[in-house]
Amino acid sequence: MKKNPAATLRGMLMLLCFLAAAWVLWSGHFDPLLLGLGAFSCLATLVIVWRMGYFNREIFALTISLRLLTYWGWLIKEIVMSSLAVTKVVLNPRLPISARYIELKASAVGPIGQVIFANSITLTPGTLTLDLHQGELKVHALTQEGAEDLMSGEMDRRVASLGDR
Amino acid sequence: MAMVVDVASWVLLTVGGFFVLVGGIGALRMPDLYTRMHAASVTDSLGAMLVLGGLVLQAGITLETVKLAAILIFMLFTSPTAANALASAALLAGINPGLAKPWRQEPRS
């Protein structure tokens, strides 16, 4: 999937602008030394990611869309709910864990969608992705309830609907 | 107004601190590596969100807020990656998730 040179150049310029903006925001200093170091860092980063083949492939691209932001909102709600569930288990004197081991398949086809799914599972306390290979996930769940929530498939559907190019 | 922001910020910081503590207690109480990781993830998901949210309220609309938001986003991206690396390393090293029963549909009581 080699892209044409014009697209590569456009990608490089966009990344350069993004890196420069990030440097200025992070440092907040405008003396020549720090601006020079910033320019050097941005160019060095550009060379390194170019050597890594960043501009040859599409798979690293993650576009911020409205649907992704909606998904993040839903994910934060899930994180809060499952954190409270795990907190209840931790603080319960009987420590009522019922660990489960799950194997499931991600509906998302592309690598980014699958990684978003695996990371979302890990990010919500109480479920932990052990392995992701060719869309097959091995998941460890702290409780039967957590495993059931995951197997209801809502997160899988939401990630798949994000669309993955 | 400043008072209201201060109170809200301290509520967020205190509740966040509580969840960080819960993560620590859980990591000590849980029986094996995988269940300990579940408990510890309360610290770096909900705990981090609340503490950084409280700090954002302290910082107000400044460059610091942009940096705090960036810290939160990077944490939410990198901590599951680190957890996945740890879990698959443990699995490869032969630490059996033996406490975990294979999942099957159970009738809800």
Chain centroid to CA A74: how far? 14
Average pLDDT over residues A11-19: 88
A58 — pLDDT class (breaks 50, 70, 90): low
Contact A144, B106 (CB under 8 A): yes
Nearest to A26 among B67, B79, B99 (CB): B67
Strand partners, A131: A138
Interface residue A52 vs chain B (CB under 8 A): no
Letter for the amino acid at A89? V
Average pLDDT over residues B64-72: 89
Contact A38, A24 (CB under 8 A): yes
Check B41 against A125: CB less than 8 A apart: yes
Q: With pLDDT > 70 as the criterion, what percentage of chain B qualifies?
A: 91
Residue A19 has pLDDT above 70, yes or no: yes
Separation CA B10–CA B52 (nearest Å): 11
Residue A12 has pLDDT above 60, yes or no: yes
Residue B104 has pLDDT above 80, yes or no: no
Average pLDDT over residues A12-35: 88
Q: How close does chain B come to A131, measured CA to CA in Å?
A: 6
Task: Give chain A positions within 8 Å (CB) of B88.
Answer: 130-131
Separation CA A108–CA B42 (nearest Å): 27
Q: How close does chain B come to A87, measured CA to CA in Å?
A: 6
Domain residue ranges in chain A: 5-51, 66-161
Contact B72, B48 (CB under 8 A): yes
- What pLDDT is stored for residue A50 in this prediction? 86
Element (H, E) at B72: helix B63-92
Check B39 against A123: CB less than 8 A apart: no
Spatial CA neighbour of A89 closest among B83, B41, B26, B18: B26
Q: How close does chain A come to B32, measured CA to CA in Å?
A: 10
For A64, A159, B106, the CA distances from A131, given in Å and listed in that order, are: 26, 18, 24
pLDDT tens string A81-110: 999 999 999 999 988 888 888 888 998 888
- What pLDDT is stored for residue A36 in this prediction? 94
Q: How close does chain B come to A78, measured CA to CA in Å?
A: 10
Higher per-residue confidence, A64 vs B57: B57
- What pLDDT is stored for residue B10 in this prediction? 95
- What pLDDT is stored for residue A61 in this prediction? 55
Separation CA A101–CA A88 (nearest Å): 21
A165 — pLDDT class (breaks 50, 70, 90): very low
Nearest to B87 among A98, A100, A128 (CB): A128
Task: Give chain A positions within 8 Å (CB) of B19.
Answer: 83, 87
Check B91 against A138: CB less than 8 A apart: yes
Interface residue A123 vs chain B (CB under 8 A): yes
pTM equals 0.81
Residue B107 has pLDDT above 80, yes or no: no
- What pLDDT is stored for residue A109 in this prediction? 82
Separation CA A10–CA A24 (nearest Å): 21
Give chain A's mean pLDDT.
Answer: 86
Higher per-residue confidence, B39 vs A9: B39
Check B19 against A90: CB less than 8 A apart: no
- What pLDDT is stored for residue B109 in this prediction? 45
Interface residue A102 vs chain B (CB under 8 A): yes
Residue B13 has pLDDT above 70, yes or no: yes
> Strand pairing of B101-102 and A100-105?
parallel
Higher per-residue confidence, A106 vs A65: A106
Contact B45, B52 (CB under 8 A): no
ipTM for the predicted complex comes to 0.85
Residue B108 has pLDDT above 60, yes or no: no
Average pLDDT over residues A46-68: 74
Separation CA A2–CA A53 (nearest Å): 10
Nearest to A100 among B70, B84, B103 (CB): B103
Least confident of A86-100, A144-158, B89-103: B89-103
